[in-house]
Amino acid sequence: MVKLNKSLKQLSSGYLFQEVEKISLSINKKIKLINLGIGDINKPISKFFITHICKAAKTLQYEKTKRGYCNSQGENNLRRIIKKYCYKNLNISEDEIFISSGTKRDISSIQELFSKDAKIAICDPSYPVYLDSNIIAGRKNISLLKCLEKNNFLPLIPKKSYDLIYLCSPNNPTGVAFTKKELKKWVDYALKNKSVILFDGAYESFITDKNIIRSIYEIEKAKKVAIEFRSFSKMAGFTSLRLSYLIIPKSLKIENYSLSNLWKRLLDTKFGSVSYPIQQGGLAVYSKEGRAEVKKLISYYMTNASILRKGLEKLNFKTFGGKNSPYIWCKTLNNLSSWDFFNLILKNTNIITIPGRGFGKCGENFIRFSAFANITDIKLALKRLKKFLKNSF
């Protein structure tokens, strides 16, 4: 008789964001629900990008311009333009860039490159995909690095040696981000311990502060120890289209095997390429007009984040993040548990947030607000919260 993959039994019963959605849909629908929960885009995709995607799709119908399977590593022109605009002066070559269909897929699959007994360190709190994907893979050597308020939610350099370390900056969920000096300590740690850093930069485009590091490769020798992940989802509003990329430097080797060659091997077998029209949409993102569209979009969400953060602070919430990130990490009131506080807010104000506990034990007593909403809803949410808090706290 066939047996179940028993690792699946170790997973929590539902994926955090789906659980929150399920609870939220059970709420009184007479009052409009305001979704400040999952970080999903609120604005439609720019017409400019859609035009490029459609144009590319149309070329596939003609004999002269038809295409078959594409390069599993991604279109040359897209990799070239990413190198030009995102890795200028960082000495990253096109063949170290891998186009993909979403950071979720990349960051959950990357562990397949490493041995089953690799010692893994994941921040607590963190994006649930890191932990879930390692549990699904049946990995046992997983440790959580506490990210506490007293350390500005950054993980401390461990005394123990870990093989794989997941770091995310600007961080999801806390919104805090590494300075170059702070991240350098991790690169030094990885060099010393022969570890690999999996650097999730999905929110890089939201960085406004000059002290915050955008790419881990700004740090000398990071190419020997780090893989970097980036996404078009939040940057260009591509959550429904699925487009991302990762960098695996050629100098990153284990037992003399090049990880980038092995990743290419894995892609060829398991994934194939991202849809050609979507990649051409990605190319349009880096054109002059595309970059202007992205700037406008980011500025819109970051204005929202600022209004939301300041509004929450006025209501006496202790907040973190929201400055280089679209997420605001917020302490619950009266020391309520994060699920209790999430439910209280949901039931009384019809505002969806994400309970911090869903990102790990150290997320207890926090909730996360997302600024991916329209400004009218953000202002309305603050009004509702004000009224509710005045009457109840």
Among 39, 237, 249, 355, binds ligand MLT (CB under 6 A): 39
Q: Are 296 and 287 in contact (CB under 8 A)?
A: no
Among 27, 38, 266, 336, binds ligand MLT (CB under 6 A): 38
Smallest gap from Cβ 200 to ligand MLT, in A, equals 10
- Contact region with ligand MLT (CB under 6 A), list: 3-11, 36-44, 55-63, 74-82: 36-44
As given in the structure block, the two tokens for residue 215 are 């790419």
- Show contacts with ligand MLT in window 164-183 (CB under 6 A): 172
Question: Positive or negative, the Cα torsion across 34, 35, 36, 41?
Answer: negative
Q: Which stretch binds ligand MLT (CB under 6 A): 18-26, 33-41, 84-92, 341-349?
A: 33-41
Alpha helices in the chain (DSSP H): 16-25, 47-59, 76-86, 103-109, 128-136, 180-193, 233-236, 259-270, 276-285, 288-314, 338-349, 375-392
Closer residue to ligand MLT in complex, CB, 73/111:
111
Q: What residues contact residue 56 under an 8 Å CB cut-off, 6+ apart? A: 276, 277, 279, 280, 281
Indicate the residue among 300 and 388 with the shorter CB distance to ligand MLT. 300
230 binds ligand MLT (CB under 6 A): no
Q: Which residue's C-beta sits nearest to ligand MLT? A: 39
Q: How many other CB atoms sit within 10 Å of the CB of residue 196?
A: 23
Task: Tell me the β-bridge partners of 172.
Answer: none
- Cα–Cα distance, 120 to 136 (Å, whole number): 14
CB of 103 to ligand MLT, least distance (A): 7
How far apart CA 244 and CA 234 sit, in angstroms, is 10
Query: Residue 127 or residue 366: which is nearer to ligand MLT going by CB?
Result: 127
CB of 225 to ligand MLT, least distance (A): 25
From the number of C-beta atoms within 10 Å of its C-beta (0-12, 13-18, 19+), residue 200 rates as buried
Q: Which of residues 300-339 bind ligand MLT (CB under 6 A)?
A: none
Please state the closest distance from residue 287 (CB atom) to ligand MLT, in A. Answer: 25
Hey, which residues between 90 and 149 contact ligand MLT (CB under 6 A)? 104, 127
- Gap between the Cα atoms of 215 and 153, Å rounded: 20
Q: Which is nearer to ligand MLT, 102 or 249 (CB)?
A: 102
For residue 296, the minimal CB distance to ligand MLT (Å) is 20
- For ligand MLT, the binding residues (CB under 6 A) are 17, 38-40, 104, 127, 172
